[in-house]
Amino acid sequence: MIMTAPVRPTDAAPDLLTGFLRLQSPGREPSPPLWLEGDGLPDVPRRLLVHDHGMTATLEAFWGEQMRLSVLHTEEVGTLLRRHVLLTGVDSGMPAELGLIEIRLDALPPGALFAVRQRRIPFGAILSACGVSFKSRPAGFLRLVASEELSRLLRVTPGAAIYGRATTLYAQADGKVLANAVELLSGHQPG
């Protein structure tokens, strides 16, 4: 288990967050996140974010149900696929996470590439199903104040604290970067 990370990540993940927030609130400059150490997170967000494995499996274990993928936005540029997704519990329908991910298409085996383009299954679940062993290496943890737009997506009160992480997913076999992501928890808990 990873206990701390740099206070300010240096990879592409923060750009994913800024781009998403700007897309949600055109014409307004988004409030910057507060970057934290992993041990500075509250208990539940720390348990859900401070680790080196996939978020889909972590959320499914926490919620006790499978996660459903809803793709909110997608953009393919060259060998990169950027998408904004919402993971909700299949049974409860509650939002669990907002994911902002930049997938390196040229790093995926054909089966995983096909499944990613189908837009039906969370990325981590695709990797697992295709036999791609991977690790998630968090580059930073964050707290963000929920804007009106973010609060509608996650079904939280505007102004609520949203916790998340910026992370890079690596193939265990060769260390190749598979994706950069920002994962924002809804803060809801299973009922």
Write down the pLDDT at residue 14.
60
The number of distinct structural domains making up the chain is 2
Model confidence pTM above 0.85:
yes
- pLDDT recorded at residue 7: 45
Domain final residue, candidates 132, 165, 182: 132
Q: Residue ranges of the alpha helices (H) in 50-147? A: 55-63, 110-118, 123-129
Q: Which of 132, 147, 172 is the last residue of a domain?
A: 132
* Residue 46 and residue 102 in one domain: no
Supply angle C-alpha 20, 88, 37, rounded to 5: 55
* Residues 82, 125 share a domain: yes
So what's the pLDDT on residue 15?
75
* Boundary (domain end) residue, out of 132, 162, 178: 132
Beta-bridged to residue 83, according to DSSP, are: 74, 101
pLDDT per residue, tens digit, the chain (191 aa), is 444 444 445 455 567 777 777 777 677 777 788 899 999 999 999 999 999 989 999 999 999 999 999 999 999 999 999 999 999 999 999 999 999 999 999 999 999 999 999 999 999 999 999 999 999 999 899 999 998 889 999 999 999 999 999 999 999 999 999 999 999 999 999 87
Kindly state whether residue 3 falls inside one of the protein's structural domains: yes
* Number of helical (H) and strand (E) elements in the chain, helices listed first: 6, 7
User: What pLDDT shows up at residue 75?
Assistant: 92
Domain holding 5, by residue range, is: 1-22+32-52
pLDDT at position 4 is 44
